[in-house]
Structure 1
Amino acid sequence: MNFNHIPRRRMLQGLAALGSTGLLGSALAQTGKEAWPSKPIKLIVPYQAGGATDITARTLGEKLSARLGQPVLVENRGGAGGVTGTDQALKSPADGYTLLVSLGTTMLINQYLYERLPYQPEKDQALITQIALAPVVLLVHPQLPVNNASELMAYIDRNKGKIAYGSWGMGSYAHLAGAWLSDKHKADMNHVAYRGEAPMLQDLVGGQLQMAFASLQSARPYIDSGRLKPLAVTGTQRMDALPKLATMTEQGIKDEVFQVTGWLGMSAPAKTPPEVVARLGAELKAIIAMPDVRERIQQMGFIPVGSSPEQFAVQFKKDAPVWERVVKVSGAKLD
């Protein structure tokens, strides 16, 4: 049959009739294009199981499975600070069946930290949704004579060369933020890098450090017991889990590094079909708006977002130059 000789209006009416009877789906299937999703979906988390990112991925995966009618499986691929799993996810087939759930560190900041990164964050991924913001808490040892972030800044000015701050590794937010403060105040603060938050917080409690930035999930037991004193949170909005603790911005500290926060996001390999990315973005936006999902995210110290792919792309581009400047000031470089 020559479709060029069929009036456009009659052809559209015919397609509509096929769609109403379900025959259009059969016709499309005969072209070799299966409707997505037609098989299980894998969420790669580039960290070990049990952490906040892993828990969030599993929470979203369960809901997404119910909405899509296919199993959604979480696969933990830790190693190299998240680089290994992120690289594997972004180099998977771009068919919508392998997705990445990770932190802004691997999805954005690493391009400024690593001399050689096996993937390019701005070219190799299709952004799906910014799941949540991940602000951190500014903490000090209880005996430090300060009660808010502004008082800490004055204390830093009076004690140059005498303050040690911790981080959970070179290039982590705790390192970058501390280095930014040290540079701004010309304070010559001593950076002590640890392999994880747990040993860092133990040394802060023990008095070997004077200050540190940490996630609420890790710091909460020490805050609740009074063994550490929280002074502020990063970002532009307060945490629901610590509603009385003001942001650094609210306390008059306007530095851009304290206004941006880490975040948790989902992406796919760059050439994933746009319609699949759009469908995932819409489904996840609806899921993250669910009260039980929001509560779960908030319990871990995150702030739920659930942006569209377009909104995520705008925020990604806005954050990138800030992190580039902060990394440059810190002097951090990773192999």
Structure 2
Amino acid sequence: MQTFRTPPSPSATPVRRRQMLRLAVASAAAASGLPLTTMAQAAADKASYPSKPLRVIVPFAPGGATDVLARGVSDRLGQQLGQPAIVDNRPGAAGLLACDAVAKAAADGHTLTLGTTSTMLSNQFMFKKLSYDPQKDLVPVVRICWAPIVLVTNSQLPARNLQELIAYIGANKGKLSYGSYGIGSQGHLVLASLSNMTGADMSHIAYKGEAPMVQDLVGGQLMMGIGSILSLKQHIDSGKLRAISFTGPSRVPALPDVPTFAELGHKEDAFTISGWLGIAATGGTPAPVLEQLGAEVRKALLTREVNARVLIAGFVPLTDDSPARFQADWKRELPIWKKLLQDAGVQPT
């Protein structure tokens, strides 16, 4: 008896698949106006990524909020991409070490930094000379969350809201001081702007991090400061500190009853701009790789475990960001941060 075998479907053969891929690339190239070779390379970049483990360089020591978020996002990215995403802590030099390592890595999307507004954006205005060009050697990929900060006072200070605080500051010109977690930090810039706005001539006490500042606030050695929810919320909940107002465009879920500066009529850049935590790659990384990374991070942020880490840290998840949006905002914010530093009297070192 003769046996007949059904021939394989043309669409299932390797030759047919390659023909269809070439046809798809050619059609896309024609529609976009890009050269066929460019489109083919873009397709190849996306298809081959990632080809090895990712390295996520964090500019802070293990255990801090940025490190905790980096580990949560990295773990999830590794699961989604099928390659480990390894966190590499490079603290020191105000984040310059971490950014330098990414700036000088291969531009293939396998080396990233997860940092903050200061480490990735405003540092270039804090230092006279960097070993890399932040605007060329780094490329924004996606932001993970907004990082608003909250103005607090010791509960003994006779001011229960921003209006009363501004009146108190105005009545005590030249007598008050405020604390922040470092020269040139967003906290410094916000309260320097408040001092300038009221003509209060307040003194700035720059602490080496939030922990010593919070200790002095709670102890009453410092009456006014600004910092993260993660560091301040327990003392706000206990009544030792009073939350006055938030920076940024909207209220924060962790303290929903605390208004923003903008809500209270103060819409200057210092009060409305928000810090963020985001991911950047090496300059020159192919656009398809950046798009894929951005999509995977957004997907990770929608998972319960990663979203919970963001909220517990006192941040606001940002699930609709993209490389294009991040890059546009990066360029728009550059002159704003530069001017805020100049207005605060911060001199590059």
TM-score, normalised relative to structure 1: 0.89
- CA displacement at 1:181 relative to structure 2: 1.4
- Distance (Å, rounded) in 1 between the aligned partners of 2:100 and 2:110: 16
Q: 1:6-52: per-residue Cα shift (whole Å, max 9, x none)? A: xxxxxxx997532679xx9xxx99xx988111211110001101111
Structure 1 residue runs of 5 or longer lacking an equivalent are: 1-12
Alignment of 1:144-293 (within 5 A): 144-293=157-306
Measure how far apart 1:236 and its partner are.
1.1
Q: Following TM superposition, by how much is the alpha carbon of 1:334 offset from its aligned partner in structure 2, in angstroms?
A: 4.2
Name the residue aligned to 1:66. Answer: 79
CA contact (8 A) 1:150 1:253 kept: no
Residue 147 of structure 2 corresponds to residue 134 of structure 1:
yes
Counterpart position of 2:333: 319
Counterpart-to-counterpart distance in 2, 1:118 and 1:37:
28
Residue 217 of structure 1 and its aligned partner are, at CA, apart by: 0.5
Q: CA deviation at 1:84?
A: 1.2
Structure 1 15/254 Cα, relative in aligned 2: closer, same or farther at 3 Å?
Answer: farther
Q: How many Å separate the matches in 1 of 2:259 and 2:197?
A: 22
CA distance in 2, matches of 1:19, 1:151: 72
- Contact 1:150-1:252 at 8 Å conserved across structures: no
- Residues 136-180 of structure 1 show CA distances to partners (whole Å, capped at 9, x for unaligned) of 010001111111112211211111011110111111111111211
Extract unaligned runs of 5+ from structure 2: 1-12, 25-39
Corresponding letter in the other structure for 1:185: T
After TM superposition, give the deviation of residue 291 of structure 1 in Å. Answer: 3.3
1:126 and 1:268 in contact (8 A); partners too:
yes
Letter in 2 for 1:40: P
Q: Structure 1 residue 55: deviation in Å?
A: 0.7
CA distance in 2, matches of 1:298, 1:220: 12
Q: What residue is the counterpart of 1:8 in the other structure?
A: none
Q: Distance in 2 between matches of 1:16 and 1:222?
A: 66
Conserved 8 A contact 2:102-2:138: no
After superposition, what is the alpha-carbon deviation per residue over 1:314-335, rounded to whole angstroms, capped at 9, x for unaligned? 2212222221111010111242
Separation (CA, whole Å) in 2 of partners of 1:292 and 1:243: 22
Residue 167 of structure 1 contacts residue 194 of structure 1 at CA under 8 Å; is this kept in 2?
yes
Q: Kindly indicate whether residue 69 of structure 2 is the aligned counterpart of residue 56 of structure 1.
A: yes
Residue type matched to 1:259 in 2? T
* CA deviation profile, 1:40-69 (whole Å, cap 9, x unmatched): 111000110111111111111111111110
**CA RMSD across the alignment:** 2.2
Partner of 2:8: none
Deviation at 1:282, TM superposition (A): 1.0
Contact 1:131 1:288 (8 Å CA) reproduced: yes
SS of residue matched to 1:122: helix
Which amino acid is the alignment partner of residue 88 of structure 1? A
CA distance in 2: counterparts of 1:47 and 1:17, whole angstroms = 47
What residue number does 1:6 align with? Answer: none
Give the corresponding residue for 2:18.
18
Q: 1:172 corresponds to which letter in structure 2?
A: S
Separation of aligned partners in 2, 1:108 and 1:102: 10
- 3-state DSSP class of the match of 2:135? coil
Match of 1:92 among 105, 108, 112: 105
Q: Does 1:298 align with 2:337?
A: no
Structure 2: distance between partners of 1:135 and 1:19? 51
Distance 1:17 1:59 in 2: 37
Q: Residue 139 of structure 1 aligns to which amino acid in structure 2?
A: V
Of 107-116 and 33-42, the range deviating more from structure 2: 33-42
Amino acid at match of 2:247: T
Of 105, 116, 124 in structure 1, the residue corresponding to residue 129 of structure 2 is 116
Aligned-partner Cα distance in 1 for 2:308–2:20: 40
Partner amino acid for 1:17?
R
Q: CA deviation at 1:86?
A: 1.4
DSSP 3-state at the match of 2:335:
helix
SS at match of 1:251: coil
Aligned residues: 316
SS of aligned partner of 2:218: helix
1:291-330 deviation line (CA, Å, top 9, x unaligned): 3322220110111113110111122122222211110101
- Deviation of the 1:289 alpha carbon: 2.2
